[in-house]
Structure 1
Amino acid sequence: MLRKEMLLLLTGLTLAISTTAQRIHTKFDADWKFKQGHAADPSRDFNYGIRNIFSKSGDASGTCIMPDYDDSNWETVQLPHDWAVGLPFQYIKDNDLDGHGYKAIGGLFPENSIGWYRKTFDVNKADSGHRYVVRLDGVYRDSKVWINGYYLGGNFSGYTSTSYDITDFIRFNKKNVLTVRADATQNEGWFYEGAGIYRHVWLDILNNVHIANEGGVFVRTAVKGNTAIVNVATAVVNKHIHTANATVYTVITDRSGQILAQSKEQPLSMAVNEEKTVTQELKISKPELWSPESPYLYRAIAIIKADGQIIDSEKVRFGVRTITIDKNKGLFVNGIPVKVKGVCCHQDHAGMGCALPNHLQYYRISLLKEMGANAYRTSHNPPTPELLDACDSLGMLVMDEPRLLNSGTEYENQFRQLILRDRNHPSIFIWSIGNEEFATQYTNIGTRIAQRQVLLQQQLDPDRTSTYAANQGNHFTGVNEVIPVRGFNYNLHGIDGYHRDHPSQPVIGTEVASTVTTRSIYIKDTVKGYVPDYDSTYPSWASTAEQWWKLASDREWFMGGFAWTGFDYRGEPTPYSWPNINSHFGIMDMCGFPKNVYYYYQSWWSGKDVLHIAPHWNWQGKDGQPVLVWVNTNADNVELFLNGKSLGKKDMPRNGHLRWTVNYAPGMLEAVAYKGSKKITAQVSTTGNASRIILTPSKTTLLHDGDDAVVVNVSVADEQGREVPDAGNNIRFVLDGDASIIGVGNGDPSSHEPDKCAPGAWQRNLFGGKAQVIIRAGRGQGKVSLKASGEGLQAAVLSL
């Protein structure tokens, strides 16, 4: 290969379009037009349902599907976009509405449950002769897609990616319009799911001979001594109208782009519409192994040439690592035992709903890593690809999971697409085939479905295994008879008996704990729907963090597990319903602000020196009254002092916590701990009133790409600079520069404040002294300035 060609390939530069051009992979997120339809009134749904739009190809006259429809009065939006998060909260006694967080969407609200999107773009006539493929990474839900009035197809799932070849319908030197109808009337889950095109859309321009769109490059690795064996299978398809000849080869580089290995060019000849797979073996000497502690990523570049020129290529990031699951000793990564310190998570975030900018994926995984978590379960649906990219890059093991357990054509294809899309990610160490299928998991039907899905997984990804999240106690019937790794959802009291009776089946906690807590609240409040921020309250079927982790830590054969959940999420409020609109299960709240239980996990998972006191020490009017004090630490012992007077010294039990009952007096509560000879201290103090605002960004530089984002956390301090932990001030935000505020939140599970505000009216009340604002970059260069102000407070200005 010519060095010039390789440099172009490695630096991501795009060759000029020609008959031998490489693919152009373009994010198709900007400048969509959006309008609500109506699920029950066709006249308010652009005549969908009363116009016979499927009788003649390309004839959808009288609807917004046609390219000449005037959409100038539609809202301009940028993807990802979730229209449900901007809807009002509405209380109706309905289990589905409760589970989805009381957003006014679904079958009860037909006026809010349909969304139409239109994207206009141009294609030069000089670029004819290529293939044009649109990929939608996620549309919630039941999407239908047209191009220039021609129906392309639909996707029943709200979570799986789907691609459409639009080549035959392109209009050259004339506007093209891609139209998407999303119908969120019918729910898939029992949690907040959003609505709309809430993940990225891509346009690929390809040669007629190209790498297959779905799972076209599959990288497998094995380690033998000081050498990594890398097998790269490249599926090539011929969409020419004649037989095509080409060669295929693979290049391996390190993360800096240095070439480490290159295969020979392998010739192949393909008939019209034929697909062939070429498998090539390469070697890396002394490889850097991927692990949660050292997530090193290589690049495999599959390349197709014809007539001596590159006509297509695809670059895949991969890691070299070995995963072993032993029935007696648990999980091993690269031969080293690893206890799974995991969390289950849904995909929404405060202010964003489900439409998260890429930076939010990295931000959330970073918060979990800081806590000490090493594993993430994508409960209970296929994740966005960028979440897996973040886990690859930051070092987070992943249990990847489809929406539900079903081997019918629709759902089996969803599972197939999930594996083909995600199997190159080194972070994935195991697949889950489903979760808590009450009607099926005990039955013979469940056995047969599970067997088929396990065999499909092993066929498509033979280097990994699978589990199933079963809330069946120690039952061995149904799905559990055939699943390779037994997954326990709660019911851990029976785990020893199950392991004794079924010693050949490895065991993992697929869903554990489920403590319910409200950040910064330390008394039960049934009116507001708050529960104390201690690791003490949990549903009857669950346990505390401490209970499950002690059990997992003490059993070598128990692989560890996934706590429910890493973050609070919209919907499924527990133990209360309205006015609650989100769960209390999170180790962090919906903004990612830590609760008290966060420091329990950090003490025993992270290896950091941890010493944390709860609660805060602002208890005006409670002088002399008892306050329950918890201390989380991994130190050997702790002595607690109130205003310099010792309240006693206690030894810290392994995987436990300490507590004191302290009669309240204003001042300072201090903990002094020793870890060996190392002294560690922590304090909480009675503060004055809030006097100034503090803005803390997740980063200080934004890429001017129209997609990058920054999370800005908001707090207030008193005149001595101490953060005020119980402040509830209203904070207003004004942004200058080429960027936009796209969401606000505060972690309050009973807040009915809007996540989206009108232009110029962005605001949020602090909850427990905190709030959050999320900013998305524009495309212009220069400074972006965020000003936060509040009555009686010194304003803060943040420059990005």
Structure 2
Amino acid sequence: MIKRILIALLLLFSTLSWAQVRVVTELGEGWRFRKGKHDQAYRTDFNDKGWEKVTVPHDWAIYGPFDKEIDKQVVAIEQNGEKVPSEKTGRTGALPYIGEAWYRHEFTLPHYRKGQRVLLVFEGAMSEPRVFLNGQKVGEWAYGYSYFHFDITDKVQEGKKNTLAVQLSNRGESSRWYPGAGLYRKVQVIVKNPESIEQWGTFVTTPFISRDLAKVNVKTKVSGGNLRLVTQIRDAQGNTVATDSTAKVFGQEFEQNIAVTNPQLWSPETPYLYTAVTRLYAGNVLRDEVSTRFGIREISYRPNVGFSLNDKVRKFKGVCLHHDLGPLGAAVNKAALRRQLQILKDMGCDAIRSSHNMPSLEQLELADEMGFMFLAESFDEWAKPKVKNGYNRFFEEYAEKDIVNLVRATRNHPSIVMWSSGNEVPDQWGAEGVKRAKWLQEIFHREDPTRPVTVGMDQVKATMASGFGALLDIPGLNYRVHLYEEAYQSFPQGFILGSETASTVSSRGIYKFPVEKAIEKQYP
């Protein structure tokens, strides 16, 4: 009997050995940082002993000093009826976010074995990061809010120290709000086998839901051949409620349909979460394992009805929320985010729009847990600029890559009920803008057919005339409350979204008395 138990244990450990599955290491402590130009800082022999020791996530600009000259403008704000230019400041917090900076970090990979793959994952780097490992350039990105990763397998050193160097550069006139600076979101190293699940390679949806049964569809992209996949669905207490080992394979993608009985539905009032544990085997040997948290919920947008969650019509009671944490800056802090969201929850908020960029993964995790419907936004600019050094410089080369990464990294969050491809973009004018809106929307549809796409439009008359607003899944109106009736009648969708508005009816500090009560109108 004892012999049989020992043999079983040996077989179990040979199958589930941690040396055979992925190891994720967060590079948090141990960084060295210095602001300014340091042309040789990518080299392994560069002397950084005098540099400041910091922990990532890190925002170097929040330390100040404040200086109104940093973001001073002499302009007339036309939408406020101004005719004469006057001095304006504070758009970016009067904080010194402009300039170049370097981060360096040394790390080893104790679990790494030759032949494995190594990924370097960034969840946000402000901005225009250039990444070097052991003196060699790994790659670069542009958008400071984008998630991205590089395969560093051919540059990593086994059993030795690896030197990571990241150069960041924030230009002036690149943002309309405080963007932060530095490695303000997590950096991770992932070690996994050649036979493995791709980064952001799982996609969990719930295409059928009834009171007694839910169909959970799991698509999993993998690398390697002659593999099999086993997925367990676990409830919020960690109990296994369903298992599937009969995945169909289409090229390098497995697809599973798993039945969950008596499903608990996700909503802002009951944010119930399940976990899909997906294991990849070569024969009987476990090669990779990924856990994906998800919710069982149904969303729909119907003409003359509007938005429904789990077959119940409801309005969004939401806010547009920038990514920074006030005096804490842009560096992600989950405790501070939780406090922020709890305050919103206590005041009756149930929805958030990430204005006007890609949200942090921590914010989405909390939205899942605490019960917020989320409108995940991508860009504040397309090809036409709002500010001299904004995203317009990168749009043609990076827009598709940035949207692909946004969707793949976040699509399993049940809190996300809608995508936004832009906010008040100047491209609302003209035929080229219509083409761009269609192109971006189709990328979202390709990557995620389950959610609609909107744009926060402030040039409503122009979008009525050009067809821009008509082609969107959801026409979003920023302010312009006086145009709601006309927009509702003009656009073919049968509903409109107040994507950015206010109880003060967009007066921005101008209040007219006496107040006259108007007849309230409801739009789906």
Alignment TM-score, normalising by the size of structure 2: 0.86
Deviation at 1:471, TM superposition (A): 0.6
CA deviations over 1:601-648 (Å, ceiling 9, x no partner): xxxxxxxxxxxxxxxxxxxxxxxxxxxxxxxxxxxxxxxxxxxxxxxx
Name the structure 1 match of 2:430: 443
Name the structure 2 match of 1:557: 523
Confirm whether residue 127 of structure 1 aligns to residue 131 of structure 2.
no
Counterpart secondary structure, 2:121: strand
Deviation at 1:70, TM superposition (A): 2.0
Classify 1:504/1:282 alpha carbon distance in 2 versus 1 (closer, same or farther; 3 Å): same
Name the structure 1 match of 2:222: 236
Separation (CA, whole Å) in 2 of partners of 1:386 and 1:35: 27
Name the structure 2 match of 1:263: 244
Confirm whether residue 401 of structure 1 aligns to residue 387 of structure 2.
no
Q: Which moved more, 1:194-203 or 1:492-501?
A: 492-501
Q: Residues 195-234 of structure 1: matches in 2 within 5 Å?
A: 195-213=181-199, 215-225=200-210, 226-234=212-220
From the two aligned structures, give the one with the greater helix fraction.
2
Percent of aligned pairs with the same amino acid:
30
1:103 to 85, 95, 99: 95
Classify 1:266/1:463 alpha carbon distance in 2 versus 1 (closer, same or farther; 3 Å): closer
Separation (CA, whole Å) in 2 of partners of 1:466 and 1:430: 6
**Aligned residue identity for 1:444:** A
Structure 1: runs of 5+ lacking an equivalent: 9-13, 38-44, 49-62, 107-112, 239-243, 270-274, 516-534, 559-800
Confirm whether residue 71 of structure 1 aligns to residue 63 of structure 2.
no
Separation (CA, whole Å) in 1 of partners of 2:58 and 2:503: 30
Separation (CA, whole Å) in 1 of partners of 2:440 and 2:33: 38
Counterpart secondary structure, 1:151: strand
Name the structure 2 match of 1:91: 68
Name the structure 1 match of 2:21: 22
Counterpart secondary structure, 2:68: coil
Classify 1:94/1:268 alpha carbon distance in 2 versus 1 (closer, same or farther; 3 Å): same
Confirm whether residue 81 of structure 1 aligns to residue 44 of structure 2.
no
Deviation at 1:209, TM superposition (A): 1.0
Confirm whether residue 390 of structure 1 aligns to residue 366 of structure 2.
yes
Separation (CA, whole Å) in 1 of partners of 2:157 and 2:172: 35
Separation (CA, whole Å) in 2 of partners of 1:547 and 1:80: 49
Separation (CA, whole Å) in 2 of partners of 1:344 and 1:309: 48
**Aligned residue identity for 1:434:** G
Confirm whether residue 251 of structure 1 aligns to residue 208 of structure 2.
no
Separation (CA, whole Å) in 1 of partners of 2:208 and 2:443: 25
Classify 1:232/1:536 alpha carbon distance in 2 versus 1 (closer, same or farther; 3 Å): closer
Q: Residues 268-287 of structure 1: matches in 2 within 5 Å?
A: 276-287=252-263
Separation (CA, whole Å) in 2 of partners of 1:257 and 1:174: 38
Deviation at 1:172, TM superposition (A): 2.4
Confirm whether residue 177 of structure 1 aligns to residue 139 of structure 2.
no
Deviation at 1:130, TM superposition (A): 1.4
Structure 2: runs of 5+ lacking an equivalent: 1-6, 74-87, 384-394
Residues 125 and 172, structure 1, Cα contact 8 Å, conserved in 2: no
Name the structure 2 match of 1:161: 147
**Aligned residue identity for 1:121:** F
Deviation at 1:187, TM superposition (A): 4.8
Q: Residues 334-345 of structure 1: matches in 2 within 5 Å?
A: 334-345=310-321
Residues 97 and 103, structure 1, Cα contact 8 Å, conserved in 2: no
Residues 277 and 291, structure 2, Cα contact 8 Å, conserved in 1: yes
Classify 1:173/1:497 alpha carbon distance in 2 versus 1 (closer, same or farther; 3 Å): closer
Separation (CA, whole Å) in 1 of partners of 2:112 and 2:350: 50
Counterpart secondary structure, 2:405: helix
Name the structure 2 match of 1:365: 341
Aligned length: 485
Classify 1:67/1:507 alpha carbon distance in 2 versus 1 (closer, same or farther; 3 Å): same
Separation (CA, whole Å) in 2 of partners of 1:342 and 1:446: 28
Max radius of gyration: which structure?
1
Separation (CA, whole Å) in 2 of partners of 1:412 and 1:430: 18
Deviation at 1:334, TM superposition (A): 0.5
2:440 to 434, 453, 459: 453
Deviation at 1:252, TM superposition (A): 0.9
Classify 1:536/1:377 alpha carbon distance in 2 versus 1 (closer, same or farther; 3 Å): closer
Counterpart secondary structure, 1:312: strand
Report the RMSD for the aligned CA atoms in angstroms: 2.8
Deviation at 1:557, TM superposition (A): 2.8
Separation (CA, whole Å) in 2 of partners of 1:398 and 1:336: 17
Classify 1:204/1:543 alpha carbon distance in 2 versus 1 (closer, same or farther; 3 Å): farther
Counterpart secondary structure, 2:460: coil
**Aligned residue identity for 1:102:** A
Deviation at 1:408, TM superposition (A): 2.4
Point out which structure has higher relative CO (alpha carbons under 8 A, 6+ apart): 2
Separation (CA, whole Å) in 2 of partners of 1:4 and 1:222: 39
Name the structure 2 match of 1:470: 457
Separation (CA, whole Å) in 1 of partners of 2:174 and 2:231: 40
Alignment TM-score, normalising by the size of structure 1: 0.57
**Aligned residue identity for 2:416:** I
2:299 to 294, 311, 323: 323
Name the structure 2 match of 1:500: 489
Classify 1:97/1:411 alpha carbon distance in 2 versus 1 (closer, same or farther; 3 Å): farther
Separation (CA, whole Å) in 2 of partners of 1:471 and 1:536: 12
**Aligned residue identity for 2:443:** L
Counterpart secondary structure, 1:198: coil
Q: Which moved more, 1:325-334 or 1:295-304?
A: 325-334
CA deviations over 1:170-191 (Å, ceiling 9, x no partner): 2223211110011012454200
Counterpart secondary structure, 1:354: coil
Counterpart secondary structure, 1:212: strand
Separation (CA, whole Å) in 1 of partners of 2:194 and 2:89: 48
**Aligned residue identity for 2:455:** Y
Deviation at 1:268, TM superposition (A): 6.4
**Aligned residue identity for 1:442:** W
Name the structure 2 match of 1:740: none
